[in-house]
Structure 1
């Protein structure tokens, strides 16, 4: 059995976007062509890969098993194509993101980008989302990866996950009244979401620590003396999640968006964007694989 990479690319894209219509837009192909490729792939593996319903599509158990392998095969294929491509992107690329995302996601993205496009030079600007989007609108950044995208900017959602209350696993600090908090300094959207949540449920708090650094927030929570609002994927195993049972309100989901203006083939921003998409596909496929196992 030999897999067709075009079929695998359609499969991975539909799995990511949970929509055949959105996948056709991403891949610049008509929807019927995407559907036919999925049908051929399902016939080849002798299994149904998607469950179709009114809200879109979801992976079956067999689809979840195939996804991490499909992502890996496409990654190898794209690396080979890039290595043999004569028109490698070169020059400076200005990337805007938050300190948290740079700390937790950027390492693997930069490793992949450097391996494929050694002529690309990357300059990373970290800050709170409002300032990052302002810099982008002024033309001071080429591509942005952060949350709270303004409605007037065209972007795509890369990742969605909940913002959670956390404290040290060995600490009872969450039982204190008022509860001592460690949050990002003023200007951070996460800070406002957390404080508004506490105000709405009438929970008393005191601001015991604030920082513009993700590492600083993690250090404060690890000390056992503070509670904070943190994305699950950016925390560590020494933390425990606090819920409504513990007196803390749900904070909802945060979306990481990506925006860039130069969509020309082989442009530095387009190549970097492809690597970023691949990283988050891999991240999601890894979660699927863990669930199956």
Structure 2
């Protein structure tokens, strides 16, 4: 209910009526002897007890998922070599890897972060078993989409005739081409102020006020400003999985499914705590 943003959406998700969910919440509050939700005619919000309870509930569900994965995991010990385009790596990737490792103690993980263009040859040459990158590769399976956004700070007196300082990664980064093409299409001048070799370097330069950039929304975090209305809207990007052709790794698909599940959980948890009224 919290993740879905209200009773109505939660009822639809689990195929129950709103009244049935409301009754279950009331029974749970009675059993715990604590009020979990504050309700009025306009909204529903978690109480302090509700926030404490839901944090434990999420941990319990997380452990249950790990237990199910561990019981059904292949028995053979093996190494899964994963390449991840750092411009699309989910936040807290190290935490996700630790969870997967706990659930699959027979699977050792080797992780390489880098540009997608550098990872694809390694996959083709058999140096990697699995690559996560943007849609620029061939024959990948799209896992999720997200918007690209402009990030940085424009001058207070910015005019469209002013040349924009750009902070971008080297070619053949697809975001670089999108930035150039988008600005050229509307006749806005630009110059490449900094060519950074990683997302971390791009983020650092943007935070220092050295220019603006194009990044997936999930990469912005809390410290990078977003430019909303001044510059033209950017297209969607996507994350795709690429598996070495002709090979079937016993853990590759399990890792893909696990990553998608964790990202979906993270997306739901980031929604507002306040819920819509019934």
Q: Give the equivalent residue in structure 2 for 1:153.
A: 139
Q: Give the equivalent residue in structure 2 for 1:122.
A: 109
- 1:132 partnered with 2:119: yes
Higher helix share: 1
Distance 2:275 2:241 in 1: 29
Instruction: Show structure 1 runs of 5+ residues with no match.
Output: 1-11, 16-36, 49-60, 63-67
Distance 1:144 1:291 in 2: 38
Q: Give the equivalent residue in structure 2 for 1:24.
A: none
- The 1:161/1:283 distance shift into structure 2, 3 A limit, reads same
TM-score scaled to structure 1, two decimals? 0.66
Q: Give the equivalent residue in structure 1 for 2:201.
A: 216
Query: Shift of residue 121 of structure 1?
Result: 1.8
Q: Give the equivalent residue in structure 2 for 1:198.
A: 183
C-alpha RMSD of the superposition: 3.7
Q: Give the equivalent residue in structure 1 for 2:88.
A: 101
Report how many aligned residue pairs link the two structures. Answer: 234
- The 1:243/1:78 distance shift into structure 2, 3 A limit, reads closer
Distance 1:77 1:189 in 2: 39
Q: How does 1:6-17 map to 2 (within 5 A)?
A: none
- The 1:174/1:82 distance shift into structure 2, 3 A limit, reads farther
Query: Shift of residue 196 of structure 1?
Result: 0.8
Structure 1 counterpart SS, 2:188: coil
Query: Shift of residue 112 of structure 1?
Result: 1.0
CA contact (8 A) 1:211 1:217 kept: yes
Structure 1 counterpart SS, 2:200: helix
Q: Give the equivalent residue in structure 2 for 1:4.
A: none
Q: How does 1:173-192 map to 2 (within 5 A)?
A: 175=158, 177-192=162-177
Instruction: Show structure 2 runs of 5+ residues with no match.
Output: 5-12, 23-42, 45-54
Higher relative contact order (CA 8 A, sep 6+): 2
- The 1:38/1:218 distance shift into structure 2, 3 A limit, reads closer
Distance 1:119 1:219 in 2: 38
Q: Give the equivalent residue in structure 2 for 1:241.
A: 226
Q: How does 1:214-293 map to 2 (within 5 A)?
A: 214-244=199-229, 246=230, 248-260=231-243, 267-288=250-271, 290=273, 292=275
- The 1:114/1:209 distance shift into structure 2, 3 A limit, reads same
- The 1:175/1:187 distance shift into structure 2, 3 A limit, reads same
Q: Give the equivalent residue in structure 2 for 1:30.
A: none
Distance 1:118 1:87 in 2: 10
CA contact (8 A) 1:144 1:259 kept: yes
Distance 1:154 1:207 in 2: 31
- The 1:207/1:149 distance shift into structure 2, 3 A limit, reads closer
